[in-house]
Structure 1
Amino acid sequence: MSEELHSANDVEATEVRVRESFGKQGLMRLLGAELVEIGPGHVRIDLARRDEVSQQHGYIHAGATSAIADTAGGYAALTMMPLTADVLTVEFKLNLLAPAAGDRLEAIGTVLKAGRTLTVCRLEVFSVTDSERILVAAGQQTLISLTVRPVD
């Protein structure tokens, strides 16, 4: 659907739409996740390490890691869809490659293939400190473009 993002106005409107939608995400607010980068087919979400998102060994919990990865991929897909469409995850698979021991996580969603109905994204999550950036999770996601009616 990238052909529908043909002007600077569309790119700006898409960024506004992504930011507004992200602002409505209760889970992202609860986790303290931050929308850091938005571009055509690319979104980055950061999550600072806090006790509230950790597991019993002090690492950032895999549930938090998965949630920001899924959200980054979803919004990356949305950037490639018409302004009249919305997005829902159909499925995703995430491999946890290393403990999320950094000061923060960076979740990056990148569109691999944007289709009329389905979009496939690569998901990557990095654990970041002042001195290093380590890939801690990688996966793939499939999303569907549809018209969504808000839940009352």
Structure 2
Amino acid sequence: MDETDPGDFRERVTRSYERQQFMRTLGAELTRVEHAMVEIEMPFNPKLTQQHGFLHAGVISAALDAACGYAAYTVIDPEASILTIEFKVNLMSPGRGDRFLFRGEITKPGSTIIVADGRAYALSNGPAKLIASMSGSMMVIRGREDVTG
């Protein structure tokens, strides 16, 4: 991958994630931070379901967006930030499980635009079940005081 030195990305990602009030509201926790890959997990919560009792597509999309955005955050220079500019989510199976895992991985790093792919898994007894995938584009933001970390 062609990129700038991301510095201490784990600390930056963790500090930024702690300011994510929405992820806290969902009960989602940052569980893994690697170069170009981030995982977020959350328990099932009936308050986050749609009319059939499955995890709501909006919750799935938001968690995938966060995982992909923070994966992008691991490959940029420490003075920059990230904003999502586009994403598409494919819902493949009902969001039914005891816990959920959202993994974001960088597909193509860049100095201005970064492309990431995400996968959402339902976790219960047995193997993880793929429930959704995401492809997203993130813009690297520099020099804006209102968009930091």
TM-score of the alignment, normalized to the shorter chain, above 0.5: yes
Aligned-pair CA distance for 1:107: 0.6
Cα distance between partner residues in 2 of 1:77 and 1:87: 7
Compute the RMSD of aligned alpha carbons. Answer: 1.3
Asked whether the 8 Å contact 2:4–2:76 carries over to 1, the reply is: no
Q: Distance in 1 between matches of 2:132 and 2:67?
A: 13
Residue-pair matches, total: 145
Which of the residues 26, 34, 41 maps onto 2:29? 34
Alpha-carbon distance, 1:130 to partner: 2.3
Asked whether the 8 Å contact 2:13–2:70 carries over to 1, the reply is yes
1:64 corresponds to: 59
**Structure 2 counterpart of 1:97, from 92, 100, 117:** 92
Q: Does 1:137 align with 2:101?
A: no
Percent identity over the alignment is 34
Gaps of 5+ in 2: none
Structure 1 unpaired stretches of 5+: none
| Letter aligned with residue 58 of structure 1 | G
Shift of 1:58: 1.3
| Partner residue in 2 for 1:73 | 68
Q: Which structure's residues are more often helix, by fraction?
A: 1
Matching of residue 18 in structure 1 with residue 13 in structure 2: yes
For residue 113 of structure 2, the aligned residue among 108, 112, 118 is: 118
What is the TM-score with the length of structure 1 in the denominator?
0.91
TM superposition shift of 1:4: 1.4
1:2 CA drift (Å): 3.1
Q: Any idea what SS the aligned residue of 2:53 has? A: coil
Which amino acid counterpart does residue 138 of structure 2 have in structure 1? L
Structure 1 residue 150 displacement after superposition:
3.4
Query: When the two structures are superposed, what TM-score results if normalisation uses the length of structure 2?
Result: 0.92
Report how far residue 50 of structure 1 moved: 0.9
2:95 is the counterpart of 1:86: no
Aligned to 1:149: 145
The alignment partner of 1:123 has SS state of: strand
Alignment partners' CA distance in 2, 1:108 and 1:140: 12
Counterpart residue number, 2:104: 109
In the alignment, is the contact (CA less than 8 A) between 2:3 and 2:111 conserved in 1?
A: no
